[in-house]
Structure 1
Amino acid sequence: MTLLGVFRRRNQGITNGDSDSSEGTITENKSPSSVPEGIEMSGDKVPDSEKVQVSETLAIEEESHDDPEIAALPLQVRQLINLKDDPTLPTITFRYFVLSAIFVIPGAFLSQLSYFRTTSAKYSVFFVQIACHYAGHFLARTLPAWNIRIPATNWGFSLNPGPWSIKEHVLVTITAASGASYNLGYAPIVLAELWYGERIQPAVALFFMLAIVWIGYAFAALARQILLPDPDYIWPQALMQTTLFETFRRTDTTSRLARRQMKVFFFLLLAMTLWQFLPEYVFPFTSSLAFLCWVAPRNPVANFVGSGLGGMGFLNLSLDWSNINWNGSSILLTPWWTQVLLFFAFAFNCWVLIPAAKWGKLGSFKHGLMSNSLFMGNGTEYPTSKVLTPTFHLNETAYQEYGPMYMGTQNVWATFFDYAKLPAAITWIATFGYAQVSSNLKKIFSSRKAGHSNQNDQTAQGEGIHYKYNDRLNVIQRQYKEIPTWWYVALFVVGFVILITSIACGYLFIPIWTLFVALGSAAIFVVPFAWLYAISNYQLETGSFNELVYGYMVHTKAGQNHQHPCGPSVYGSIAGDAWYRAQYMLQDQKIGHYMHIPPRQVFFSQIFGTILGVPIDYAVVRWVMDTKGDYLTGKKTDPLNQWTGQKLVTSNTMGMQYAVLGPKRLFAQAEMAPLPWSFLVGAVIPPILFIFHRLFPKLRIDLWNVSIFFGGLAMFYGNVSTGYTSAIIGAYIAMYWAYRRHFEVWKRYNYLVAAAFDAGFNLNMLLIFLFFGSGKQISMPKWWGNNADSVERCFALSS
């Protein structure tokens, strides 16, 4: 056996996940050409850590060349994922149910509560991953190994089936991700009762919230066979979570490397938790370092150009992880090309369009350059409640008195790109993604044909969607039963019956026929949006598109009796959650794919999570309306300035724009007349770029994804422009330089660092909330680093 063969067998901890990659020595001299890029060797002696890295990489690459099943996987997948499976490990156990309840119930409470408050502590899935690991081992040590029989049945279970299983760990986390989250259906429920005095019955509200989630999960079936088994779709967020699972799994063995990784993880978690007290509370000056303001603190132009909190953010840096990491681990997770596109979108937005609007007469500056509120012609905020009739239609007399509703200038172009990104996503996948998607569809159809034509072949029958993919992960998954299509159909039927019954009885403010439009449009978006998310980790949001579509529909003769301001939020909840939830379901199923979890158990855990979480969501909604309702509507002033319901105000504003006023009136104004043209712009640019890509392939125009670029232009709202420059610097270091020059270090620590930073940030937010905001609000005393006029020290910004 060759030395490489020995290394391969000794170091299966990386490819097979068994042990630490044996921290031995290299006894055979290798030339620098045989060492992977990023491993520097100098002199006769090599540090032990680099010896291990070299041996592991050589072993993996050698086995990849020998085994086509491994070679078929992307590099980062085959070097980060365990490629061995133990199908005997327990999955759905008594411990699973106990821990699911423990983590879902408080998580759903905190997540839903956050949507009513000005600031909140996000319930992190990384916290669940960390805490569940130790809680599972605690139950495995303490629970008695009793076998329980269910009376009058043949069913039974063990309280403690043995050592804590990594598969139990994964399933509890997936359940928490499914159930411990907010529900889009809360908005129309709260708006109807608090703003318009129409209470939706509790049973209707609860089943409405369940239905929109279940339909979204059912819609995952539309994209599952295209995007889940294909190894080229890595789903970066799923890969990051899997990396943390793999590290926990190896700590349960004798892996010294895994223990070292966990030490690094907890050290960085603690460091981030402590650091965030500075920008978030003690030293907010560090949240936005406006260098131009330091040079000219009393110059209005320099202040506006340099400020990241009310200005352009030019030459502005941030040391606040929430500002740097503006999309959830994006700089340590999202591919480099995606981050470059998003930074260019930010730069064009803030460094080109904003100064053009402020000093170049692009739009109307008096209507709020960096605001998403509605304004009257004189620049003051529009009194929307005064232009409604008792039946919630437009009061023409009052509207003539107050005049048209104007949007802030930045909000106008943000809305333009918000509309354009949707057709751009569809035509982009129809051009640049056509070859791969069509190839996957052919594999699906051929696998079904093979399964039907060979009924006696047990292998062909059992492989399901994995039949035409011969990488190691798909081969492993073939041993497990696939999720039947009728499960998704049944889930859809249940959700559909709930919705159509509630609408037909007049509980949900929208006409029945719009439900079919909502579900049809969502079905169109599922594949292109999930495809984009699977390759780029960029989640394209529909924004106000759904509300716009609803506005057009109810301002026709067929919908003229359904112009209630809550209608757009009902429609948006149905159409939006249908594909949002589909994405999240696919992402968590990809985790199950990476971790070799039986697909049916993953499906069960996701549905079980919603059954636990959605009732908690509604209970939170009910409690907030009963105890904080006057604060949300502005009848009373919250002394803590927390219960402001800003997201609800935005939903109400869109209800006024699209349902009451109507898109036709809204777009009749000169400054908003170009908005409908955005759909044509978004639809035609990808085909044009595709033609240029075919003519000039070396330019890599396939990386110039305009739907992501448009999404970057559309997502910048308000006047916070700090952090983006820091983000692109950090992204260059992590996702370009380290990935290409020091891949061995990158593959071991990049995703762990991302998880540690996210978990530490969220832990810090929770601590600040508990210590300084949950009861009596405790403000940080004003000092040089927390100036009362400007924490950036841009004192002339408002001039």
Structure 2
Amino acid sequence: MELSDDNMVSSYQNKKLDPESHSVEFSGEVNDSPIEQVRLTVPITDDPTLPCLTFRTWVLGITSCAILAFLNQFFGYRQNALYVSSVSAQIAVLPIGNFMAVYLPKRSIRIPATKWSFSLNPGPFNLKEHVLITIFANSGSSPVYAVGIITIVKAFYHWQIHPLAAMLLTQSTQMLGYGWAGIFRKFLVDSPYMWWPSNLVQVSLFRALHDVEVRPKGGLTRLQFFIVVLVSSFSYYIVPNYLFPSITALSFVCWIWKDSVTAQQLGSGLHGLGIGSFALDWSTVAGFLGSPLATPGFAIINILVGYIMIVYMVIPISYWTNLFEAKRVPIFSSHVFNADGGEYNVSLVLNETTFQFNRQGYDGYSRIYVSIFFAFAYGLSFATLAATISHVALFYGSTIWQQTKASFQDKFGDVHTRLMKKNYDPVPQWWFYAILVVVIGVALLTCEGFGRQLQLPYWGVLLAIVLALVFTLPIGVITATTNQQPGLNVITELIIGYMYPGRPLANVAFKTYGYISMTQAITFLSDFKLGHYMKIPPKSMFAVQLVGTVVASSVYFGTAWWLLSTVKDICNTSKLPEGSPWTCPGDDVFYNASIIWGVVGPLRMFGHLGVYPAMNYFFLIGFLAPLPVWFLSQKFPEQRWIRLINVPIILSGAGGMPPARAVNYICWLTVGIFFNFVVYRRYKGWWARHNYILSAGLDAGVAFMAILCYFTLQVRDINGMRWWGLDLDDHCPLAHCPTAPGIEVKGCPVFN
């Protein structure tokens, strides 16, 4: 249900480039890349004498990895789950690296009892060190999906999981992708036709940061601009984070019509459709959807169209016509409900001894109901997956087929591949196979051992592994050529939900091993391609990725375990103190998905025994939806704007909701349109120079102030002065009320 913002290719913003142009040349030998965007962005030179795995690389890389992992997990439990990307580290480590190059001693240090030695300062801080540090940071900025399992077990189900089993789960799910990456790297990395557009953002930023820059008259260098933004963002964030949390969502419609359920459903930015709501907080803008400053304009417009269609057309019509008995429950919520409009009592349908589905309890209780928004979120996720397949097949099918054939025929003749093969030894294939065998063994031990706490039997682990193996190549080809990555989360939930129902942890474990191992493989391959473009020795890349993954997984796990053990009532919104940000919105969705797919199962939700079997039609709707756009693009080829209509993005326009809310989307779309249309067109020079740096500075400032506030004040339960602005809420108490006649919910009027 999440919309990926991977379509952030800086070269698309250049007027010379067409985001739908792939200009592939299938000649045997070319002097440069056959892809135009790569030719215009990636340098074709290399200096193999530059040191790579230096003392600075290890220190700054591991530090960046650990800090980003800590920050992203720390923020993951908060109301606005801000994502701090590796771009922040990419910018911040440059002056630190240059400082170390100036002041560290240059003498060699010998490692005792070995012939090895190293220097703290091998010379000027160079581009290759910077790239490897950023690869470390990429590992730290990639969320560890398995932590969600640990969170729902401890904070939502109030069950126990062995800490070693939890640790092995996080490591094995993150590491399994190495095997698939090793198997398919020949086709997805070495091939020049697999060009990974998202990497061009970082390549462009590397070149900008390492170009010799002279401060413009009356202006600032990029680094000076970053520092100004960082300090400003840091200073301001104490207001929404601590002094006045209510400005993270301002919903004036609710304040005007205080007694109207309908008005508050329409106007609430947190619990409704968000008409007229906004925020004065960067974490609200970028919290769930990433930075809008780095998203191409055409993608923002597609998201805007999809958001308007779903939120302001489909949802209101469906709710007020009482589709699926929608009025029994709130219009927008990520929770599950019973037929009387109350929150679903999971303990009645889950055997506390076996932690499995209690059919007798279910038959005597109630079917599951979800908000109309949550129901359509699942339906649209079905449609998006199907639409991605047909959209890519129609618009990119012939190109992908040509590129894939060229890859399998070993036609790797571009300059980047030739330089890599000439100057560096490849990673031995057995390294990947060895990791794959070891990690599969760890995965089987994790699920079969520890009293089978995760409920997933060995055949479930092996089936998940087969699914990941089968889908890595085709999805890798799609991602490497179109920047769209279909997810396997819904399909994996559906498969295991039918095959092994009634076991919530088995469902989420299967989903994680099947979906995330494939996603991790795509991430590893993307990083390998970045190293390929920047001419990093493959063995150095392998070492950095391996260590970075282990460090990041450990820090994510440690941070989560620490917060789950120390923050009282974390994730329990009914018991948290006023103003507490620890509401865990993403994990709340993950928990409710485990009830839907794991405890009760898809048969009693989307099958003939459930309330929502009609949602299965969205598979067909999504598959057919790209056809009209493709037909129009063929009939009117001179109208190039037609090819910019991306049906999967439109269908998933509101795909981040929940856990994202309407106010997040409204602010994100407003800021994105302003910077990527108004500023980009009127002040293109400023945009090209400062846009990405502005984004990184805002993210970093918010992150540092949030950490400072927590460790100096909030950890001691000093949550600010008592007043109405302290509420982390938009003051729309009636927005969550059902409107069906006779439904009684505490704090809500009863309709006749």
**TM-score class normalised by the smaller sequence:** 0.7 to 0.9
The aligned residue for residue 437 of structure 2 is 493
Q: Distance in 1 between matches of 2:479 and 2:395?
A: 15
Larger Rg: 1
1:747 aligns with 2:688: yes
Q: Distance in 1 between matches of 2:579 and 2:286?
A: 27
* Structure 1 residue 355: Cα displacement: 1.8
Q: TM-score, normalised by structure 1?
A: 0.77
* Structure 1 residue 290: Cα displacement: 5.1
Contact 1:418–1:542 under 8 Å retained in 2? no
Quick one: structure 1 residues 523 and 733, their matched pair in 2 at CA, closer, same or farther if it must change by over 3 Å?
Answer: farther
* Structure 1 residue 37: Cα displacement: 8.2
Q: Distance in 1 between matches of 2:483 and 2:722?
A: 40
Q: Distance in 1 between matches of 2:670 and 2:44?
A: 34
**SS of aligned partner of 1:341:** helix
Letter in 1 for 2:466: G
Q: Distance in 2 between matches of 1:777 and 1:129?
A: 34
* Structure 1 residue 212: Cα displacement: 1.4
The aligned residue for residue 665 of structure 2 is 724
Q: Summarize the alignment of residues 145-184 of structure 1 with structure 2, pairs less than 5 Å apart.
A: 145-151=106-112, 153-179=114-140, 182-184=143-145
Mean alpha-carbon deviation: is it higher for 294-303 or for 743-752?
294-303
* Structure 1 residue 689: Cα displacement: 4.7
Q: Summarize the alignment of residues 764-775 of structure 1 with structure 2, pairs less than 5 Å apart.
A: 764-775=705-716
Q: TM-score, normalised by structure 2?
A: 0.81
1:431-475 deviations in Å (ceiling 9; x for gaps): 322222222222222326xxxxxxxxxxxxxxxxxx2335xx556
2:146 to 185, 190, 199: 185
Q: Distance in 1 between matches of 2:44 and 2:591?
A: 50
**SS of aligned partner of 1:148:** strand
Q: Distance in 2 between matches of 1:212 and 1:37?
A: 41
Quick one: structure 1 residues 153 and 175, their matched pair in 2 at CA, closer, same or farther if it must change by over 3 Å?
Answer: same
1:509-562 deviations in Å (ceiling 9; x for gaps): 11222223322333444456556655676665545442222111114xxxxxxx
1:216 aligns with 2:177: yes
Contact 1:81–1:242 under 8 Å retained in 2? yes
Quick one: structure 1 residues 327 and 596, their matched pair in 2 at CA, closer, same or farther if it must change by over 3 Å?
Answer: farther
Mean alpha-carbon deviation: is it higher for 593-602 or for 294-303?
294-303
Contact 2:140–2:552 under 8 Å retained in 1? yes
**SS of aligned partner of 2:723:** coil
Quick one: structure 1 residues 256 and 85, their matched pair in 2 at CA, closer, same or farther if it must change by over 3 Å?
Answer: farther
1:416 aligns with 2:416: no
* Structure 1 residue 90: Cα displacement: 1.0
Contact 2:426–2:538 under 8 Å retained in 1? yes
RMSD: 4.0
Contact 2:578–2:727 under 8 Å retained in 1? no
1:652-711 deviations in Å (ceiling 9; x for gaps): 433333233222122335640112333333334345654554344345554333222232
| Alignment: residue pair count | 705
Contact 1:565–1:656 under 8 Å retained in 2? yes
Quick one: structure 1 residues 292 and 666, their matched pair in 2 at CA, closer, same or farther if it must change by over 3 Å?
Answer: closer
1:760 aligns with 2:723: no
Letter in 2 for 1:135: I
2:229 to 256, 261, 268: 268
Q: Distance in 1 between matches of 2:661 and 2:139?
A: 31
Quick one: structure 1 residues 318 and 538, their matched pair in 2 at CA, closer, same or farther if it must change by over 3 Å?
Answer: farther
Contact 2:80–2:284 under 8 Å retained in 1? no
1:709 aligns with 2:647: no
* Structure 1 residue 171: Cα displacement: 1.0
Q: Distance in 2 between matches of 1:781 and 1:196?
A: 32
Quick one: structure 1 residues 723 and 631, their matched pair in 2 at CA, closer, same or farther if it must change by over 3 Å?
Answer: closer
The aligned residue for residue 372 of structure 1 is 334
Q: Summarize the alignment of residues 124-523 of structure 1 with structure 2, pairs less than 5 Å apart.
A: 124-151=85-112, 153-179=114-140, 182-189=143-150, 191=152, 200-221=161-182, 224-225=185-186, 228=189, 237-250=198-211, 260-282=221-243, 287-288=248-249, 303-325=264-286, 329-363=290-324, 364-389=326-351, 390-447=353-410, 467-470=412-415, 473-474=416-417, 476-478=419-421, 479-505=423-449, 507=452, 508-523=454-469
* Structure 1 residue 249: Cα displacement: 2.0
1:171-204 deviations in Å (ceiling 9; x for gaps): 1221132146542223444555677787555444
Contact 1:329–1:755 under 8 Å retained in 2? no
Contact 2:272–2:331 under 8 Å retained in 1? no
Quick one: structure 1 residues 202 and 140, their matched pair in 2 at CA, closer, same or farther if it must change by over 3 Å?
Answer: same
Q: Distance in 2 between matches of 1:339 and 1:314?
A: 19
Contact 2:377–2:657 under 8 Å retained in 1? yes
Quick one: structure 1 residues 295 and 633, their matched pair in 2 at CA, closer, same or farther if it must change by over 3 Å?
Answer: closer
* Structure 1 residue 485: Cα displacement: 3.9
Structure 2 gap ranges (5+):
1-13, 17-29, 738-748
Q: Distance in 1 between matches of 2:537 and 2:620?
A: 44
Structure 1 gap ranges (5+):
1-35, 39-67, 449-466, 556-562
Q: Distance in 2 between matches of 1:770 and 1:120?
A: 18
Contact 2:349–2:359 under 8 Å retained in 1? yes
* Structure 1 residue 81: Cα displacement: 5.2
Q: Distance in 1 between matches of 2:466 and 2:544?
A: 27
Q: Distance in 2 between matches of 1:330 and 1:207?
A: 32
1:86 aligns with 2:47: yes
Letter in 1 for 2:360: T
Quick one: structure 1 residues 368 and 105, their matched pair in 2 at CA, closer, same or farther if it must change by over 3 Å?
Answer: same
* Structure 1 residue 720: Cα displacement: 2.4
